[in-house]
Structure 1
Amino acid sequence: MVQLIKQLWRRYQSVLAYLIFGGLTTLVNLVVFWLFNFIWPYWLANTIAWFLSVLFAYITNKLWVFDSKTPTTKAVFHEMVSFFGFRLLSFFVDQGIMIVGISVLHGNDLIVKIIDQVIIVVMNWFFSKLFIFKNRAS
């Protein structure tokens, strides 16, 4: 049984690690959104939550999910620009879902945010796996 678990971990390590750290990133996003949504409009709370969660995600994805090794400062910069660039793309989808869900459909802010995050996590995994941290074989 232990051997089977080790085999499954090796085979699906990046996906499982992404689920763990993606879950934590989502938690950061939801908590920050929830806290700032009491103070500012939902779109501003969402922007702040996005920024802080993307910063958290970059560090955890680089170190523990995709085990990215960047040998030069230029390579780190390129990777970071790619990461934030693709996350900026998902931010526009994120804001669009929030605007439609809250302002147009009059949904509950937090419920719309949770639904939104499921879509964004899947998008971001594909961006990270296929474009940003592609130098890791898994």
Structure 2
Amino acid sequence: MKMKRELITYLISGGVTTGVNYLLYAGLLALHIPYLAANSAAWAGAVLTAYALNRQWVFHSKKHIASELASFAALRFLTLLVENMLLWLLISRMDTAAFPAKLIVSVVTVVGNYVLCKFGIFRKEAVTHG
């Protein structure tokens, strides 16, 4: 039951985070910001949103905020690199429009981010009885 609730709250917070990401990306594209710069800036806004929601609402973390946020951003940076590489491939090499490319790439990043959060950043410490 707890796992199901966690997955549901993760999906909802992911939806909010994705909305922030897409709104920022679309807004920056509308301002004629290059797609990789727009994606990187949107990533920053999405990371802050995701961290706050994941820490408080999904994983209920009690760890030190500064070190946890640094770890969260560092691991999410890996997904930014993958996302920018895939966007470049889809847009520059496969002639996909910028926004549909972002939608395609999001599938990869959502799955990757869940795994990084669940088993990396917000991993529960093992309880030892002794």
TM-score by length of 1: 0.86
What is the total number of aligned residue pairs between the two structures? 125
CA distance in 2, matches of 1:56, 1:106: 31
Partner AA of 2:81 in structure 1:
F
1:120 maps to 2:103: no
Corresponding residue of 1:13: 5
The yes-or-no answer on 1:49 pairing with 2:42 is yes
> 1:3 maps to which residue?
none
Distance in 2 between residues matched to 1:102 and 1:29, nearest whole Å: 18
Identity level (%): 34
Which residue among 77, 83, 95 is the counterpart of 2:72? 83
Q: Is the 8 A contact 1:66 1:136 kept in 2?
A: no
Aligned equivalent of 2:15? 23
The CA deviation at 1:42 is 0.7
Q: CA RMSD of the aligned region, Å?
A: 1.4
SS of corresponding position for 1:26: helix
Question: Which ranges of 4 or more aligned residues in structure 1 deviate by more than 6 Å?
Answer: none
CA distance in 1, matches of 2:121, 2:66: 12
| Aligned ranges 1:90-101 → 2 under 5 Å | 90-101=79-90
Distance 1:13 1:68 in 2: 15
Q: Which structure is higher in RCO with an 8 Å CA cutoff and minimum separation 6?
A: 1
Label 1:24 to 1:136 Cα distance change in 2 as closer, same or farther (>3 A). farther
Structure 1 gap segments, 5+ residues each: 1-7
Distance 1:20 1:11 in 2: 14
1:131 aligns with 2:120: yes
* 1:63 equivalenced with 2:52 (yes/no): no
